[in-house]
Amino acid sequence: MIKTGFLGPKGTFSQEAMIVYTKGGSEYTGIDYNTMTDLIAAVSKDEIDEAVVPIENSLEGAVSVTLDMLATEPDIKIKAEVIIPISQNLLAKRGTQFKNIKYILSHPQAIGQCRKYIDSNFPDAMIKYLYSTAEAAKEVAEGNGDMAAVGSKAAAGVYDLEILQESIQDNNNNLTRFIVISKKEAPKSRKSKTSIVFSTENKPGSLYRILDIFSLWDINMTRIESRPAKNKLGRYIFFVDIEGHVEDEDVRDALTMVKRKTSFYKFLGSYPEFERQM
């Protein structure tokens, strides 16, 4: 039995991503945790085998708390990625009238994804940011008919809410990439990606010199994301995804060089590239 954690409560997109990842296999048990901190701690303490966490949305960008965790948790590696389409819906208690909605509740990313819809349909509504779309649905279910939540259809089911309007996101290119983190690494697959995080020396051109290494070894960088180093404004750490597996000779040699040329370096894992089922 494999214990797979996800960011709860039930009805979040994290749970949906977990189901895509496990393909509903009976060897997996899903366990929900209320905060990211609890979820990560559960992996560190071997309470669960792995956890599914969001890392990037095609509209709203990187999920900072996940990146910061990857940089600082020593034992945690990425073993898989899952990409799922995100569809946001307007959820309310049964019988709620559009004109009575005074509060709109959701996670900041979900609100961001529906900003135009909210601004044009509810220009006077108060926005309340909660920890997850499912928390918002839960609070609306406990409220008194002047609130709506932005969230998944699954959340409507879990909290017995009515879907007032389907698919309210401003842009249909709305996908979220989740990663599966674990202390165990993934077996080598046909098509792999590798993730690392590093900080450069504080001198001109130091990031350029690192990217130069990938260029020399003909390695394709698919993503670069910066986060503050937290010791000084203007110092950063960089998260880089490249094509290939750390056991490939070129990738191994390039990463050895990157490690030599950086002041902080952490290998985050080689894992299979997600292939969407169309």
CB of 232 to its own copies, least distance (A): 6
127 touches its own copies by CB under 8 A:
yes
* Other beta carbons within 10 Å of 255: 23
Return d(Cα 111, Cα 125) in angstroms, integer: 12
The rounded distance, in Å, linking the Cα atoms of 106 and 147 is 11
Is residue 236 within 8 Å of residue 226, measured between CB atoms?
Answer: yes
The active-site residue, picked from 178, 198, 238, 274, is 178
**Min CB(204)–its own copies separation in Å:** 4
Among 29, 226, 256, 263, binds its own copies (CB under 8 A): 226
State the Cα–Cα distance between residues 246 and 83, nearest whole angstrom: 22
Interaction of residue 205 with its own copies, rule CB under 8 A: yes
Length of the chain: 278
Contacts of 109 (CB under 8 A, 6+ apart): 57, 60, 63
Q: Is 252 in the site for its own copies (CB under 8 A)?
A: no
Q: How far is the CB of 187 from its own copies (least distance, A)?
A: 24
Are 266 and 78 spatial neighbours (Cβ–Cβ below 8 Å)?
no
Site size with its own copies, rule: CB under 8 A: 46
Is 176 part of the annotated catalytic residue set?
yes
Report, as residue numbers or ranges, the catalytic residues: 176, 178
Contact set with its own copies (CB under 8 A):
37, 56-61, 64-65, 83, 108, 112, 115, 119, 127-131, 171, 173, 175, 177, 204-205, 207-208, 211-212, 214-215, 220-228, 230-234, 236
